Chain A
Amino acid sequence: MPAPQTDLANGLSDEATSSLWALGASLRSEAGATLFDLGARADRVFQVIGGRVTLTLPMQVRGRQQDVLVEERLAGETLGWSGLIPPHRYTLKATTPVETELIAFPRDVLLRHFADNPQVAVAVTRNVAMVIGHRLQVFQAMWLREMQRTIELRYS
């Protein structure tokens, strides 16, 4: 079966992608299951193959703590980059609202593979940096929009 096209393997040859994929373990998450909790030790990076993952943060809503949607991850997208980036703690809670298929890459296995394959290491690290950078840019823009509204509400 050919390796699925995902953002983690961008720029890798077919051979390198297949080798990378062989390091991961298939994982099927049931509808409503928690993939990882906020603050949990992050020792894996995930690639969504099918289904959907919601990333949430806790918020007080009418005096009760509720998980509020922050982001979603769909097929082909990467999540759990805290598995590769210190201090290796997940900064969001991940749940699967529908049955979801993923590949989980353990950090220690990935790091060993990177040590043996520096070109793969560079490509995957760049891809992870793109995921992190994109999130940063999206949230910068969202934060600025909220700030703009706050200013308009306060000084209108």
Chain B
Amino acid sequence: MMMFLSILCAGTFVLAVLVAMLGPGELTDQSNEQMRLPAQPSRFFGADAVRRRAHDDLAVDMMLAQIERHVRQEQAAAEAFLAAPSPEALGREAASPPVN
């Protein structure tokens, strides 16, 4: 009887050690799997609106930069025309594409 109990205790101990070695990783991964939620766009504080606003700001900044470049080049072309007025100088293409 004593021997049976000793073998039973030793077996339980070995099993416990094995579970302790393998278990935590498996359990953590499982619990991570359970906690991992499908990606959803955040709706906190209108995150979409903020992103859209940032995109609009960038588009406006780009357009303003394009207008500014166009104005500078057109002024340079106008100054060149005034320095030596001629129909050709007035119609000469500036480097920038027209904004309109």
Contacts and interface: CB of A to CB of B under 8 A. Distances in A.
A66 interface: yes
Interface SS majority for chain A? helix
Interface residues of B, number: 21
A69 B71 contact: yes
A138 B79 contact: yes
B75 interface: yes
A141 B81 contact: yes
A14 interface: no
Interface of B: 56, 59-60, 63-64, 67-68, 71-72, 74-75, 77-79, 81-82, 90-91, 94, 98, 100
Interface of A: 59, 61-62, 64, 66, 68-71, 134, 137-139, 141-142, 144-146, 148-150, 153
A142 B56 contact: no
Contacts, number: 55
B interface: dominant SS: helix
Nearest to A72: B72
Contacts of B59: 62
Contacts of B67: 59, 61, 68-69
Given A62-B59, A68-B67, A145 B100 contact: no
Contacts of A59: 67
B82 A138 contact: yes
Given A62-B59, A148-B91, A153 B78 contact: no
Given A138-B82, A141-B82, A149-B100, A70 B71 contact: yes
Given A138-B79, A150-B100, A64 B91 contact: no
A69 B79 contact: no
